[in-house]
Amino acid sequence: MKHVVSVSLGSSKRNHKAQVNILGEDFIIERIGTDGDKKKAIELIKQLDGRVSAFGLGGIDLYLWAGNKRYIIKDAAELAKAAKVSPVVDGSGLKNTLERRVINYLHDNEIIDFKGKKVLLVAATDRFGMAEALVNKGADMTFGDLIFALGIPIPLHSLKTIDILSRILMPVLSRLPFEMLYPTGKKQEVNSVKYRKFFDNAEIIAGDFLYIKRYMPPDLSGKIIITNTVTKEDVETLKNRGLKMLVTTTPELQGRSFGTNVMEAVLVSLLNKKIEEITSQDYEKLLEKIGFLPRIEVLN
């Protein structure tokens, strides 16, 4: 049996474990949160290294992307180095494939017509594949990278601007402590309504759920959220706030949509190739074979 573990800097309250069969292989898929404690995460990776098929890094990105340029996050690199045997992924490879497919799937199956829709993507550098797919479908985009990662309430509206700013800022930002850019540990459990006008103006809110959850307003009536990593409690909260539809890019596994890092670790376990040899075409072929579909729930 293959065992995939996501070691997350996020809250341990979001831990989950599921047993599933994918393409004839039995998997134990597990998420373990360390409440923002990087030392604890490193120790956990060292303890499990060689005993698990693959690690996912949760609550932190190993890479941020702008176009074809990849920037490595210093803190995440320290976590990844703790594993000497088991491969480590952060989900960015899958975000560039699976999440493009999900946007195309929603459009091609006439579930969501993106053309002209006002979409708030909370961070494009975290989900560049999704950002490009939404632009290609004609969505009216607002990118919240400066707003949610840096607390600068300036909306961005073009991928070209994201690209230019990334080339200027990423060499510095990638060396900052990750908790300065992203909610970790107990901060993930707190909803502090902020940047409300950007949420209110959007018909569709997309991207990292912990950014969305941390700042979303009490009224989400008529809106659609496209994200992943939601728990049963999150779904109930969104329903109570009037959300019309929830789409998660990763499928539901025993009551939980795991993060892309977890699902990428599953794919790496199935591919049996070195990380550096895996291509986006490998992921595409495997995704086609498995037939992963997004989770779509009409809540109100």
Q: What is the mean pLDDT of each run of 10 residues along the chain (300 residues)?
A: 93 89 93 92 97 92 75 88 95 87 95 98 91 97 94 95 88 82 74 94 95 96 94 94 96 80 93 89 89 92
Residue 6, pLDDT score: 94
The CA radius of gyration of the chain, in Å to the nearest whole number, is: 18
Report the relative pairing of strands 69-72 and 63-66 from DSSP bridges.
antiparallel
* Dihedral angle computed from the Cα positions of residues 15, 20, 26 and 31, in that order, rounded to the nearest 10 degrees: -10
Report the relative pairing of strands 25-33 and 16-22 from DSSP bridges.
antiparallel
CATH 3.40.50 residue ranges in the chain? 95-252
Residue 67, pLDDT score: 64
CA atoms 118, 96, 298, 262: torsion sign: negative
Instruction: Give the Cα separation of 292 and 248 in Å (integer).
Output: 11
Q: Exposed, middle or buried, 242 (CB in 10 Å: 0-12/13-18/19+)?
A: middle
The reported pTM is 0.88
Give the residue from 134, 138, 110, 112 showing the smallest Cα distance to 122: 134
95-252: in CATH 3.30.40: no
Give the residue from 12, 58, 44 showing the smallest Cα distance to 228: 58
